[in-house]
Amino acid sequence: MIDIKKLIEQKKAIIGEQRVLKAIAKEQVKEVLISKNINETTKKKIFHYTKLLNVPVTELEENSQILAEICKKPFNINVIGII
């Protein structure tokens, strides 16, 4: 299991669809983590760009609310990029 909390603390992760997509385009992302309740449109977009650049995607068992709690953020998190 990936220690998301540790990645956030070490600043080795970025949060949010737009930020992650920009980082993928700049080839800065090693892996993308998505929540189990991500909406289908966002999921398709993530899979499209990660496939183009051969970036692995892991679908987590946690939903966006749990990811928000793990990352200590006041908003839901659907996409995390590991840099």
Cβ pair 80, 33 in contact under 8 A: yes
Handedness of CA 18, 39, 73, 67 (dihedral sign): negative
Residue 1 clears pLDDT 80, i.e. is over it: no
Residue 77: name the closest of 24, 11, 45, 33 by CA: 33
CA dihedral 27, 48, 39, 32 (to 10 degrees): -30
CB 82, CB 32: distance < 8 Å: yes
Name the residue ranges covered by the structural domains of the chain: 4-82
Write the pLDDT tens digit of every residue in 29-82.
999 999 999 999 999 999 999 999 999 999 999 999 999 998 889 999 999 999
Fold of 4-82: 60s Ribosomal Protein L30; Chain: A; (3.30.1330)
